[in-house]
Amino acid sequence: MNEDGHLTLSDVVVTTTGSSSSSDDSSFYGLDAGVIALNGSTVTESEGTVTTTGDGANGVFSYGSGSSVALTGVVISASGQYAHGVMASGGGSLTATDLTVTTAGANGAAVATDRGGGTITVVGGIYRTAGTSSPGIYSTGTISARDATFDATGAEAAVIEGSNSITITDGHMTGTVNRGVMIYQSMSGDAQGQAGVFSDTGGSLTALSGPIFYVTNTTATINLSCVTLEGSSGVLLDAAAGQWGASGSNGGQATLNAVDQTLSGSVDVDGISTVALDLSESSTLNGDINAAESAKSVSLSLDGSSRWTVTGTSYLTALSDSAGISGSSVTNIVGNGHSVHYTSSANPSLDGRTYTLAGGGTLSPA
């Protein structure tokens, strides 16, 4: 639908075959999509099916400022490479309610935005991807999902590129390959900026391979509250240089804010990366902080109700003054006999002293 048009579909079967002549034009502008709203037009579709089989043939697409798509109860299948389930770019918007979406080809997310960004709102539904590098969600815009299930068997549960966001509420997300959630900047020009935000409240997030969170060549904020996190690798967060960006300046700068949240696994930080952990409202961390000696900054803030249980020798640049320090002991860091080292110059209130941790172990200057 094009040029301010309005189209309403009810219980319609849409089937397309054949591959796009340009995977870029398909991802940027919706070329060869099964259903598309363009240039300020609107599409409303309820029930029915949309099935595409060619490479680059996205299921349903919204392109351009003022364009919008509203889907309810539609079953969408896209089987080709570079074929996404539902997608928006160039400032388009799309609302997906109680959909069943599957993709089978490589590089085909179930829910995606691309160059120029877009806004997608998901309510309910089941979203499954099977192809290599095909996450459940790929955001170069603003994507939110509530009460939805995302299962990616060939990639991450979710990926954010550039200064964009994903907000999940009471969702169930599984990433099978590489990691759970990746936040990065590819430098391809598809997404601007380096400030991704991932927020998750309630529900679950599972990483069957690699860290639960991976941040590289960007700045990322991760907000978690009451999410059940499961990771098979034992790594909660990895902030490190990867294959994107200029060597030496392509680390990850990650802030993780936990509110009433249980965290488990190591926090890994390489020499050109930073991590700031903020635990509040009875949050807990069970793991170690593996920071390279040359890491720019690794900080931990614990309010009086939160606790860190240390599982191995750990390194901090800075520790908040509220970390339960009383006299020569620390009450809300449980050492289990392990050592935690801090940077004296970044912690003047600690006065370069050594403190005893609850359950044994020490907090001492590096």
Assess if residue 247 is contained within a domain: yes
Tell whether pTM > 0.85.
Answer: yes
List helix spans (H) across the chain: 23-29
How many residues in the chain? 366
Q: What pLDDT shows up at residue 92? A: 97
Assess if residue 276 is contained within a domain: yes
Rounded average pLDDT per 10-residue block, the chain, 366 residues: 83 96 94 95 97 97 97 98 98 98 98 97 98 98 98 98 98 97 95 96 98 98 98 96 95 98 97 96 96 79 95 93 81 95 92 94 94
Assess if residue 1 is contained within a domain: no
Secondary structure class of 260 (helix, strand, coil): coil
Assess if residue 265 is contained within a domain: yes
Q: How far apart are CA 318 and CA 260, in angstroms?
A: 22
How many domains does the chain contain in total?
1
Q: What pLDDT shows up at residue 2? A: 64
Q: What pLDDT shows up at residue 320? A: 86
Summarize pLDDT for 170-219 with one digit per residue, the tens: 999 999 999 999 999 999 999 999 999 999 999 999 999 999 999 999 99
Task: Note whether 303 and 324 are within 8 A (CB).
Answer: no
Q: What pLDDT shows up at residue 26? A: 95
What residue numbers bound the domain in which 118 lies?
6-365
CA max distance for the chain = 73
Assess if residue 140 is contained within a domain: yes
Q: Pick from 116, 111, 174: which is nearest to 143 by CA?
A: 111
Assess if residue 105 is contained within a domain: yes
Q: Pick from 339, 361, 338, 229: which is nearest to 285 by CA?
A: 229
